[in-house]
Structure 1
């Protein structure tokens, strides 16, 4: 029986501890039910505000860049490919004609010299034929060539 008394005493103690634990849990539950939790979002608000400011700045920068792009696009001119090719072709033709003209103008003294030589040959040939055809004129010309004494 002594053992039974010991066990009964132990059980009684355990039940008392269990009741104490339950009463503490009930007190804690009541405390937690009445406890007001106030969430603190100041850190999150600060981060979100800073992110919002960064986003606004990025958007403003993008608007400025887009404005510049639109300005330069409005200011620019586009030409069709065929017009560019035609212009280049015309410029090549103009440069070729201009180069040929400069070449011809630079050869004018040579052409004049050649023409003068040909004219001189024709004139001399004509006078020779004339003098061969009329010996009287040849004699008169030879007399005319001789230096005349000055009186």
Structure 2
């Protein structure tokens, strides 16, 4: 029975320790309820500020890239200068060639008309000279010409 007494004594002692611990916990719980806690936001603010700064840097870089892309796209609709110069040169050369050809055709046709008139005068002069040398031929020609009409 001594063992049961020892165990009972131990159990009573443990229960009294448990009661003391419960009272301490109750006291600490009351103390926590009355204590006003204010969280320390300095570290969180520092983290958020550094994140905000990095986001601003990324945003500026994106804005710069977008403005460069917009500038490139606005210039992409233009034709290259060398192509414009080449096209202008070809058009100018074609215009000059056509103008010169028209001028040459006009001069050529005027020269042909002048040469035709000159040849006609020379032929008439040659026929008149021939008819002067051979008057009987002239009479036969005139007779033939009147019969023909």
Name whichever structure is richer in helix by fraction: 2
User: TM-score interval w.r.t. the shorter chain?
Assistant: 0.3 to 0.5
Q: Normalising by the residue count of structure 1, what TM-score does the alignment of the two structures yield?
A: 0.43
Q: Normalising by the residue count of structure 2, what TM-score does the alignment of the two structures yield?
A: 0.44
